[in-house]
Amino acid sequence: MRSSPRSPRAPQPCIIWHRHSPRGPADYDLPVTSAPDDLSTPDAPAGPIVIIGAGPAGLTAAYQLGKAGRTATILEGDKVVGGISRTVERDGWRFDIGGHRFFTKVEEVEALWHEILPDEDFLLRPRKSRIFYDGKYFDYPLKAFNALKNLGPIEAVKCVVSYAAARVRPPKDQTNYEGWLVARFGWRLYRTFFKTYTEKVWGVPVSSMPADWAAQRIKNLSLSSAIINAILPNRNQKEIASLIEEFQYPKFGPGMMWEKCQELVEGQGSKVVMQTKVVAIAHEGGRATAVIAEHDGARTTYPADEVISSMPFSQLLMAMDPPVPANVAKAASDLSFRDFLTIALVVPETDSFDDNWIYIHSPDVEVGRIQNFRSWSPFMVKPGQTCLGLEYFVFEGDRLWNSDDADLIELGKKELGILGLADPSLIETGYVVRMPKAYPHYDETYQANVDILRDWLAHNAPNVYPVGRNGMHKYNNQDHSMFTAMLTVENIVDHAGHDIWEVNVEEEYHEEKDGVRPGVATGTGGTRGTGRDAPIIPSTAPSTRSA
């Protein structure tokens, strides 16, 4: 690694963070892989930096480099910036790829949001989301009285009987998520509140999902404890509620943040090159030397001393030239994703609702969640109407993914009609957006595969720095993407020595220890998790949908 002319970073001042995380510690063990040796020559001139991707990670990296007096070339394959955190604009309607809440426990990320956008561009929005099932809205998180009232006395009694039966004769196999849930809630509640939605999101039967991720995360969860918690709010619950009941949101959506960041980055002297897809990374003598990208069928070579990459980790490795060995290529191709499509429908304001989104548990429709963008920001919609974003969790190439937009819009209208949420004949227009690789998939081998890719990179191109969500194959939010980018820039310009793979923006910080910053772990191994929860889906699990 070539160094910047700046001196190595002094020990970081302590930053104290006392908030309690609404979650416990995250659930993945960390690989014990040592960080690559620092190959820098302290006073070498700063060479060109190429950043792959103009999403939150890529643009944050560019912006932080700019503040440190360095410029970069950012190569973005798409027509718009923001990546998955973009805001789509069609005919004056603005909508997200799923609504994007701005909420973080990392002070530096919070500060950066407000450095990029002035305070007046942020709205503080109340969070409301409910579960829609059998024509009724259930509070989310579930509240016992509301749930019982909605279920009605007969169904409520059946649920209690089903719960009692499961207590007396619990499922023999509780190693899978279905057995684990049924043992704690009974079959009827499991079917109402867990099965359908979980299967819509992950695309595999709940019975094929291992229980251990849930068992580690949701210790002592049972119907009785859920009811007690619902009836008797305690101090901890109040704290949790205050963390999740409101969130910040840029008034024109998250894309506004990234469009502004692009402007700032260009003002600093960096170049954002759009519709330019990285197709190869040349490496030689144990370092990356250039990034090759395609625009309108023409290839350009961008010489690079450092490469910050937010493109999918697997694709990064597959783009190496000369190619990676067969075992590394296999590990890369075994990393998989869940994909996403949204059907945005313009409906009369009378069909609006207060929720930011509702979870659709009804098994008779395929839609998984419905966003109401009027509830996110009145600046996103037009008077008298709203825009509902129907979210479908899909696999690239499956039946829904390959359907025509016109057919998908008809499907969306039909499903809103079935749910009784809107009259299909009054839906004026609709738009479809497909987002490939929206969710890095975790299967039983993903961690080992990621380790293989990391190891190859550490030995063959240590000046390539993976950052962000798909960039590191981590199922995390914008704040994680941004923080990994911020720390990577510190590594490049200041030789800060952060282990980016240890960044955990979900971590609970009770006290500051020995200069450890919130979100940054110091070790190179151990049992601390580094991310949000996601189940491990066995690669052999059958799909719940036909292709």
Ligand X SMILES: Cc1cc2nc3c(=O)[nH]c(=O)nc-3n(C[C@H](O)[C@H](O)[C@H](O)COP(=O)(O)OP(=O)(O)OC[C@H]3O[C@@H](n4cnc5c(N)ncnc54)[C@H](O)[C@@H]3O)c2cc1C
Q: Which spans of this chain sit near ligand X (rule: CB under 6 A)?
A: 52-58, 75-78, 83-85, 97-98, 100-101, 277-278, 310-311, 340, 438, 468-471, 476-479, 481
Nearer to ligand X, 2 or 86 (CB): 86
Least distance in angstroms from the C-beta of 64 to ligand X: 13
Question: How near is the Cβ of 34 to ligand X at its closest, in Å?
Answer: 24
- Strands (DSSP E) contained in 285-372 are 287-295, 298-303, 306-309, 320-321, 337-348, 357-360, 369-372
Least separation in angstroms between residue 250's CB and ligand X is 12
DSSP of 410-442: HHHHHHHHHHTSS-GGG--EEEEEEEEEEEE--
Task: Find the shortest distance in angstroms from Cβ 319 to ligand X.
Answer: 7
By C-beta, is 189 or 317 nearer to ligand X?
A: 317
Min separation Cβ 144 and ligand X, Å? 27
Report the residue number, 57 or 131, with the smaller CB distance to ligand X.
57
The backbone torsions φ and ψ at residue 249, rounded to the nearest 5 degrees and listed phi first, read: -155, 125
Q: Quick one: tokens of 12? A: 């970081």
Would you list the DSSP string of 120-160? GGEEEEE--EEEEETTEEEESS--HHHHHHHHHHHHHHHHH
Would you say 35 or 279 has its CB closer to ligand X? 279
Closest to ligand X by CB, 151 vs 278, is 278
User: For ligand X, which is the closer residue by CB, 130 or 191?
Assistant: 130
Q: How far is the CB of 310 from ligand X (least distance, A)?
A: 4
Least distance in angstroms from the C-beta of 516 to ligand X: 23
3-state secondary structure of 173: coil
Residue (178 or 366) nearer to ligand X, CB: 366
Burial of 16 (0-12, 13-18, 19+ CB in 10 A): exposed
Minimum Å gap between C-beta 372 and ligand X is 15
The residue (of 253 and 430) whose beta carbon lies closer to ligand X is 253
DSSP string, 6-53: SPPPPPPPP----PPPSS-S---PPP--PPPP----TTPPP--EEEE-
β-bridge pairing 369-372 and 306-309? unpaired
**Gap between the Cα atoms of 485 and 108, Å rounded:** 12
- Bridge partner residues of 210 (DSSP): 176
Specify the residue, 311 or 487, whose C-beta has the smaller distance to ligand X.
311
Helix (H, G, I), strand (E, B) or coil at 345: strand
In angstroms, what is the minimal distance from the CB of 98 to ligand X? 2
Euclidean distance between CA atoms 4 and 357, whole angstroms? 46
Contacts of 293 (CB under 8 A, 6+ apart): 75, 273, 276, 277, 278, 279, 299, 300, 302
